[in-house]
Amino acid sequence: MTSFDETRYFSPLAPGASALPPKVSLVGAGPGDPDLLTVKALRLLQQAQLVVYDKLVSREVLALVPAQADRIYVGKQSGLHTLRQEEIIALLVRLARSGRSVVRLKGGDPYVFGRGGEEAQALAAAGIAFEVVPGITSAQGMAAATGIPLTHRDHATQVTLVTGHLRDEAGERGLELDWSCLARPHQTLVVYMGVATLPHVCAQLERHGLAADTPAAVVENATLPTQRTVTGTLRTLPTLARAHAIRAPALIVIGGVVALHAELAAQMLR
């Protein structure tokens, strides 16, 4: 559970409370580099009085929030949830109804594996006005930062984004993916939250027909100074990721576009 004092936020005299209609801004924080925030996201952060934020929001982005603003951490990671998702939703509704202007800050884009859709549904059902500020999703940030284009006429005519870690609040459900579709050639496959299941993902793709020598990469902390890129093939990537001690957050990229990394990254400005 969070350690914040609820009386501070829900009392009639809570700091920042007003008579204005309640509003929640679902804001995408992007992949980590604060220079990649949208202008609107930056403005909302600099004006924020109360920010509810996730684990994947970088310290560099949080540093843009005014020092006097209240911050509530509701981050989730494997096996350790500060609050369950339904509790986060209930918290947002209660904060908005208390008269606070709430910025709900999420890594990447709220509507791309960020549960922003679930939170928007709940706010709409509660009659609370909200706005969604898109952010550069991690796959886009990774592509720009590594020299791995998501599409290329010679390599990929489509992009597929999937999550490699499906979990309900009660426990593991396993990977419910259409492996035959994901194993088709001439596409780029980006797997979010897949570090722990990387061996399984690669094995399933190979089992369903994707060539073992298909270029593949794993990118840790994309766009941040600590970014690391490990490249190999569908067959070798799990061993390479283990040898380099890759840790979440990281993205897995599979497809011919990965072969462009060596050519493009050498001349990219840092």
Can you state the angle between helices 116-125 and 85-97, rounded to 10 degrees?
40
Coil, strand or helix at 91: helix
- Reported residue count of the chain is 270
Question: Is 76 designated active site?
Answer: yes
Separation CA 219–CA 213 (nearest Å): 19
* CA distances to 126, 163, 203, 245 from 218, in Å: 40, 14, 15, 11
DSSP 74: -
Cα diameter, the chain = 63
Cα torsion for 29, 34, 35, 36, to the nearest 10°? -20
Among 54, 70, 106, 109, which one carries the catalytic annotation? 54
Q: Reduced to 3 states, what is the DSSP secondary structure of residue 237? A: helix
Residue 126 class from Cβ within 10 Å (0-12 exposed, 13-18 middle, 19+ buried)?
A: middle
54 is catalytic: yes
Of residues 227, 256, 237, the one with CA closest to residue 142? 227
Q: Structure tokens of 242? A: 């283990």
One-letter amino acid identity for 270? R
Distance set, CA 187 to CA 43, 55, 161, 198 (Å): 37, 30, 11, 18
Rounded Cα distance, 128 and 191, in Å: 33
Q: Which of 23, 40, 55, 76 is catalytic?
A: 76
Active-site residues: which are they?
54, 76
